Amino acid sequence: MSRQEIKSEITGTVWKILTQPGQDVAEGDTLMILESMKMEIPVIVEDGGVVSQITVAEGEAIQEGQVVAIVET
Amino acid sequence: MFESILIANRGAVAARIVRACKALGVRSICIYSEADAASPFLKDADEAHEIGPGPAPQSYLDQEKVLALAERVGARAIHPGYGFLSENADFAEKVIARGLAFVGPAPRFIRAMGHKTRARDLAAEHGLPVAPGTQLVSESLDDLLAAARSIGYPLMVKPAGGGGGIGMLPVHDESQLAAAVERSRSMAQRGFANAEIYLEKLMRTPRHIEFQVVGDRAGNVRHVFERDCSAQRRNQKIIEEAVAPGVPRAVIEALGEKIATVLTEIGYDNIGTVEMLMDADGTFSFLEMNTRLQVEHGVTEEVTGIDLVVSQIRLAAGEPIDAVLPVPPQVSGHAVQARVYAEDPKRFLPSPGTLQVFRPPSGVRVETGYGEGCKISTFYDPLVAKVIAHGATREEATARLSAALDGFVIEGVKTNIPALQSILRSQAFRDGLVHTGLVAEVMAA
């Protein structure tokens, strides 16, 4: 098992969280959708595993590089 | 002429309308959100009033706030610019109901053209070619599959209430259809509060060619030629030019005349743009009509010498078309515009931040609402500036634009300038072989 920090690629806000802690996710799944400058940017799982933590809430402002979730792979 | 105009917008278009007001001797009244308080052009306006916090629903999109302010400051007209409330028929009706003029067409035209399947029907009724497509599709999977089969794959799922490329999703075969429809509905519901969708035949490598039209309050409409806006990423334009390269002028003239005739029949009564797709075999089909000023209006102004914003205001104030356009419009040279966005040049991800250095190039036209030290916030679209170059030929205009972009110094945010340069310098663009897939091809190379 390795702990994978999922980071936001953008500065913006969290629009919609589509997964929850404990959930199995596969490569390519969308963890959440972020929003910035009228664009929706999905946060995609790169290596499948289990979501151990969602570190942000819907509506929260986030910075580029900020950890938004942790996935155990 | 109106004594005053309230500009219900921000950024580059608000700055542009302030200039038009000055040219006409009209009192310009700007509104701004807390996030835009430092916009330099606000100082050029006769008045500027804060309207609310950064998020657009609490400021630029808050109709009651805008209307209440307009009444309080004694504005005689409201110019909506583009985006925000510009294609909101309810808002236009409220403006008129309160005794102010709306600088745009009558609300019924905004409503008719704002609904994409109704607009397609209207165009077809008046004899304009329309791409194969369906009416609104129901929630039933069987109906959906049948509708898709009736036009064939590949196809595009499109929101009926939308615009700006939002919620438009390509579908290449039946297995992708249901998921694309669900996603499009969700994006449409969120973006336009209308989950209605329809299907349209997807052309492989079409060109996006649009006609600028100008109409007076009596419904006399003329066209002012075309723009080619085929260079797009995610269905959004990034490079636009006038005129369209490589299309015979006789074809353009005939289609432009046809469009002007149709709109005269309908009685369209202000400026607007009819967007067409041109297939690889040269066939045109109606895409949609935008009932407002376009982001890319500047390239038309550069080749015709017509000030479209001044014309729009004069027409909205009731001047006849013969007074506003006394001589038949003519094309002189070529103009190309690039949209400089605050975004990563490779993946086109948003890049908000502060413009620590901002030095626009000289010798070309630059439209912007920003200045050095301004913050590009996450609340609004990523447009930083439009750079427009004119030349005697397309080659000259493109070379000037490219040189200008090289000299545009922006620090503090990432911009798409490297991507714009790759496109402008690509062989396909230089050869005039533009189509809506060109940007993706150049970026993948």
Residue B298 has pLDDT above 90, yes or no: yes
Q: Is the ipTM beyond the 0.90 threshold? A: no
Residue B191 has pLDDT above 80, yes or no: no
Nearest CA-CA partner of A64 in A14, A11, A6, A13:
A11
Instruction: Average the pLDDT over B187-192 and give the result.
Output: 82
Instruction: Among A13, A35, A37, select the one facing B380 at the smallest CB separation.
Output: A37
Average pLDDT of chain B is 95
Q: Within 10 A of B275 (CB to CB), how many other CB atoms are there? A: 16
User: How far apart are alpha carbons B368 and B282 in whole angstroms?
Assistant: 35
Instruction: Among A9, A37, A40, select the one facing B378 at the smallest CB separation.
Output: A37
Q: B343 and A37: CB-CB below 8 Å? A: yes
Q: B349 and A11: CB-CB below 8 Å? A: no
Reported confidence tier of residue B222, pLDDT bands at 50, 70, 90: very high
Nearest CA-CA partner of A19 in A2, A31, A28:
A31
Q: Give the pLDDT score at B163.
A: 74
Q: Give the pLDDT score at A39.
A: 84
Q: Give the pLDDT score at B165.
A: 77
Question: CB of B187 within 8 Å of any CB in chain A?
Answer: yes
Residue B13 has pLDDT above 80, yes or no: yes
Q: Give the pLDDT score at B275.
A: 96
Q: A11 and B353: CB-CB below 8 Å? A: yes
Return the structure tokens found at B126. 């008046």
A56 vs chain B: nearest CA distance in angstroms? 18
Nearest CA-CA partner of B430 in B392, B385, B397:
B397
The residues of B assigned a catalytic role are 292
Question: CB of B342 within 8 Å of any CB in chain A?
Answer: yes
Q: Give the pLDDT score at B296.
A: 98
Q: Give the pLDDT score at B130.
A: 95
B349 vs chain A: nearest CA distance in angstroms? 7
Q: Give the pLDDT score at B187.
A: 83
Instruction: Average the pLDDT over B147-170 and give the result.
Output: 90
Return the structure tokens found at B149. 């089969």
Residue B30, C-beta contacts closer than 8 angstroms, at least 6 positions apart? B7, B14, B18, B41, B42, B45, B47, B48, B49
Instruction: Among A9, A11, A40, select the one facing B378 at the smallest CB separation.
Output: A11
Distances (CA, A) of B31 to B49, B120, B352: 5, 35, 22
Q: Give the pLDDT score at B364.
A: 98
Instruction: Average the pLDDT over B137-154 and give the result.
Output: 92
Reported confidence tier of residue B167, pLDDT bands at 50, 70, 90: confident
The predicted-structure confidence for B403-423, as pLDDT tens digits, reads as follows 999 999 999 999 999 999 999
Q: Give the pLDDT score at B189.
A: 86
Q: B352 and A36: CB-CB below 8 Å? A: yes
The predicted-structure confidence for A8-66, as pLDDT tens digits, reads as follows 999 999 999 999 999 999 998 999 999 998 888 899 998 899 999 999 999 999 999 99
B187 vs chain A: nearest CA distance in angstroms? 9
Residue A1 has pLDDT above 80, yes or no: no
Q: Give the pLDDT score at B304.
A: 98
Lowest mean pLDDT among B65-79, B81-95, B130-144: B130-144
The predicted model scores a pTM of: 0.94
The three state secondary structure string of B293-360 is CCCCHHHHHHHHCCCHHHHHHHHHCCCCHHHHCCCCCCCCCEEEEEEEECECCCCCCECCEECCEEEC
